[in-house]
Amino acid sequence: MEQRLNAEQLDAVTSTEGFVRVIAGAGSGKTRALTHRFAFLVNELGILPQNILCVTFTHKAANEMRQRIHNLIGDQDTGYINTFHGFCVSVLQEDGYALQYPKSFLVLDNSDIDAMLGIIYEERGFTLRDMPYSKARDMIEIQKLFKKPEYYLDMVDEMSLDVLYEKYMSAVGTDDIIFYGYLYQQKKCFGLDYNDLIKFTLYVFSRNEEIRLKWQKRLEYIMIDEFQDIDSLQYELMTVLCGYHGNLFIVGDPDQTIYTWRGANVKYLLDFDKQFPSVKTILMLKNYRSTPQILTAANSLIDKNRYRIKKELLPILPDGGPAVFHFAKSAEEEAQWIAARIRDLRQSGTAYGDMAVLYRAHYVTRPIEEVLLKEKLPYHIYSGVPFFGRAEIKDALCYLRMVISQDDLSFRRVVNIPRRNIGRRRMEFLEKYAAENSCTLYAALKRTLDDDIFKGTKAVRFVQLVESFSPDFEKRTVSDLLGALLDESGYEEMLRTEGSQERLDNLAELKQSVYEYETTCGEEAGPADYLAHVALFTNSDAEDTSDRIKLMTVHAAKGLEFPCVFLCEMNEGVFPSRKIKDLMGMEEERRLAFVAMTRAQKRLYLSGAEGRNLDGSPRYPSRFVLDIDSRLLEYDGKPADGLIKEAREYIAWNEKYLPENLEELLLPEGTRVRHPYFGEGTIEGIDTGKGAYVIRFDEMPTPRTISFRVKLETDRS
């Protein structure tokens, strides 16, 4: 063992008693240390596997760890190697009787919850306009989170189905009706959602000392991987479980905290020594994954974060090629540059399967996919659907086709999206009429609109929509036609009602592709021409082979590594995301970029593109590229000095008005100010969420909300 582990790894493996914290940098061999520590406990100390709990955050990671440990200890019994939720299932299967839950309780996923919501909505006459399912799920979780746990746990534990049903039927207000209806449906099928698993386990432990002590005594050694991703409930569970033996080993990297949006709190790792003063801290910084050129660039980037443990990854591998940054003239040229580099790598002997294209969000893949398909370069999208294969993109294109050709395929796809009450019975009627009269389904609908079967439907509106655009579609631009169709059909409104922001982002990217197509093709860019053009990308004929380029989001790439990595669309508003509104969110975005860069083993390529966003604003290079010492990057198409200067000014302006940076700049309530146009007034309120003052001006009868960005003069200025 000693020959296979470095000094820090060996220290982590053999430090078995008490509280141990390992700060493990990317590529430093933390999984090796964890698995060898488990083997050391079993093989050298004689600890039984069933008395060890090893927790990680994904089922895939747990399965991989289980297999590695099995190979090291040669025992089919590998103890409790699981996710937090998986471990809680084991507890509740064994001791759920304390809640009158059977061993065969159901674990509910989002589709199960949505099915329950569908029952509630139908019973109480709700629609998605009252509350989209995604919002209802969030509301239920918030209700459970902010009401004392005993409030709903006692209720689910002690109340009969009849009492729960009575509370559900007597509830008033949308939130309470859905909340109590959900609790009733849960208990009816003995179902628990993911967060319930931990809450119910803690509830059992808090109410039954005998059960709690049994598990505390059983788990003599506890190890937790990816500790930077732990949330408050998981932290509470961990604290309870280690309360008897006091043997807790945690490993994580604060620079790889990228899940705060789902509750992760890096402070649990950073402040672990305050909670457990006797902790031993081990730093594992030797990186066995990436070349020195990749690591120095990544270190330079992450060093710009304020809230972290200061450290630098130490390269073990020999020198490799430089980290390269390319800033193209357009998104299409950026994609062509990536494809050219892929061809170069392939010709030099690198397999397609050794290359990964990473990005911040799925909607940015469209130009990449277009070029890869055109160049016949094989690829596969992980944790996502190819851009032109996504439902909302197909729907939008079918609306265009309905205006142009009224074909049956498009008709079937969009006639009832959004819902127009044209279901199976009415479709069978249309199919029969079309077959008997040798016409299209759309023609059949037009001819039979007055039939009683279409009373109470929106069939007339659908026909009016198509007929209003069809006669003169050639006189309109594609972008104008597509925008109007998505608006007047109610399609975009439907997505907004459902709360489907990712799908709306994809439609925005489709509109961007249409705009770029029109810009490139000029007068020939008619709607029919565009559909012929895009058909090249919807009918993917890329070779189906396992040796394919991998396309995935950075979040999906967490924990993986690839010989060659392309990190694309490194533009402000994309990476970092335009949705980031505070300093902590920006630091998480920077950590996400750091995670992306440290996935690369031998070659790292960063790229972005200039041009214009849909709102007309210029596209700037990402601040994360500008964060990296320019001496550590090789520029293949560097942004113009004027654009870089403009980008830095834009970034500085935005950072100045992040809430955390505003405290020293804000004027207090009651301050007398002078506005360049409205004159003198008094600050009556401050809204940091909106980034604005509420000011009552002397010459105006009502107050105005004025952005922090407007320069206000004071007597002291």
Task: Determine contact, residues 672/713, Cβ cutoff 8 Å.
Answer: no
Alpha carbons 632 and 294: distance in angstroms, whole number:
9
* Among 118-132, 588-602, 642-656, the least confident range: 642-656
pLDDT digits (tens, 9 = 90+) for 137-150: 888 888 887 665 55
* Among 183-187, 521-525, 701-705, the least confident range: 521-525
- In 10 A of CB 40, how many CB atoms? 19
Per the annotation, the verdict on 31 as an active-site residue is yes
User: Is the model's pLDDT at 384 over the cut of 70?
Assistant: no
pLDDT band at 546 (very low <50, low <70, confident <90, very high): low
Mean of the pLDDT values across residues 108-123? 82
What string of DSSP letters covers 170-207?
A: H--SHHHHHHHHHHHHHHHTTEEEHHHHHHHHHHHHHH
Q: What is the pLDDT of residue 154?
A: 67
User: Is the model's pLDDT at 661 over the cut of 70?
Assistant: no
Helix (H, G, I), strand (E, B) or coil at 426: helix
pLDDT digits (tens, 9 = 90+) for 416-472: 888 898 888 888 898 888 878 878 888 889 888 888 888 888 989 999 999 988 888
Per the annotation, the verdict on 599 as an active-site residue is yes
pLDDT band at 237 (very low <50, low <70, confident <90, very high): very high
Q: Which of 35, 256, 365, 448 is catalytic?
A: 256
Q: Which of 8, 193, 220, 226 is catalytic?
A: 226
Q: What are the CA-CA distances from residue 120 to residues 113, 142, 174, 181, 361 (Å)? A: 11, 19, 11, 6, 33
Q: Which of 30, 308, 341, 558 is catalytic?
A: 30
Beta bridge partners of 675: 679
Better pLDDT: 478 or 696: 696
pLDDT digits (tens, 9 = 90+) for 575-615: 998 888 777 888 889 999 999 999 999 999 999 998 876 66
Task: Determine contact, residues 317/27, Cβ cutoff 8 Å.
Answer: no
In the chain, the percentage of residues whose pLDDT exceeds 70 is 90
Alpha carbons 214 and 123: distance in angstroms, whole number:
44
Task: Determine contact, residues 222/242, Cβ cutoff 8 Å.
Answer: yes
Q: What pTM does this model have?
A: 0.68
- Average pLDDT in the chain: 84
Label residues 615-639 b or e (16+ Cβ within 10 Å = b): eeeebbbbbbbbbbeeebbeeebeb
Helix (H, G, I), strand (E, B) or coil at 257: coil
pLDDT band at 540 (very low <50, low <70, confident <90, very high): very low
What would the two tokens of residue 678 be? Answer: 């409205």
Comparing C-alpha atoms, which of 403, 453, 390 is closest to residue 411? 403
Q: Which of 341, 420, 503, 599 is catalytic?
A: 599
Q: For the chain, how long is the longest CA-to-CA vector? A: 85
Sign, CA torsion 539/542/548/549: negative
pLDDT band at 667 (very low <50, low <70, confident <90, very high): confident
Quote the radius of gyration of the chain (alpha carbons, Å). 29
Q: What is the pLDDT of residue 435?
A: 78
Q: Which of 31, 477, 671, 688 is catalytic?
A: 31
Helix (H, G, I), strand (E, B) or coil at 304: coil
Token pair 């004025």 is at which residue? Answer: 706
Per the annotation, the verdict on 256 as an active-site residue is yes
pLDDT band at 541 (very low <50, low <70, confident <90, very high): very low
Alpha carbons 440 and 430: distance in angstroms, whole number:
9
Q: What is the pLDDT of residue 186?
A: 83
What would the two tokens of residue 297 be? Answer: 């660039």
Beta bridge partners of 20: 249, 280
Task: Determine contact, residues 549/372, Cβ cutoff 8 Å.
Answer: yes
Alpha carbons 708 and 693: distance in angstroms, whole number:
7
